[in-house]
Amino acid sequence: MKKANLARHRSRLPLAALLLGLFPLVSHAADRSGKEVVDTVCIACHGPGKDGAPKIGDIDAWKPRLQNGVAPLVNSAIGGHKGMPARGGMASLSDAEIRAAVNCMVGQTAGAAVKQH
């Protein structure tokens, strides 16, 4: 009986190893929200407008950057642009998190512009 149990458990080892190998992919699926990323990473520069970063809520600073849509902003945030390091200096941010953060900042800026009028 012991040999049968051992053989059955050994046959499960490759499956267990495969499932354990998937954990990095699964854990990456739990991306932070755009607001979380903005509040913990982006705000350091986009809050005070550090080194020319457009301030969140300053529609005049964002307007020229948005002329070609949000996609170029996302690409710049992922790859870096002028004084901004790639991924805001946080290499662990996923593309989805960067996209969500850019959309969040643009949304907050648009909301601030509407409130001003």
Comparison of pLDDT for 76 and 4, the residue scoring more: 76
What pairs with residue 81 in β-bridges? 84
Cα–Cα distance for residue pair 50/29, rounded to 1 Å: 31
pLDDT tens-digit series, residues 10-68? 555 454 444 445 444 444 556 899 999 999 999 999 999 999 999 999 999 999 999 99
Q: What pLDDT is recorded for position 27?
A: 44
Query: For residue 10, what are its two tokens?
Result: 């050994």
pTM recorded for the entire structure:
0.71
> Two tokens at 92?
């662990």
Q: Select from 102, 57, 50 the least CA-distant residue to 76.
A: 102
Which residues have a Cβ under 8 Å from the Cβ of 7 and sit 6 or more positions away?
none
Q: What is the pLDDT of residues 78-102, one digit of tens each?
A: 999 988 999 999 999 999 999 999 9
Rounded-to-integer distance, Cα 19 and Cα 84, Å: 38
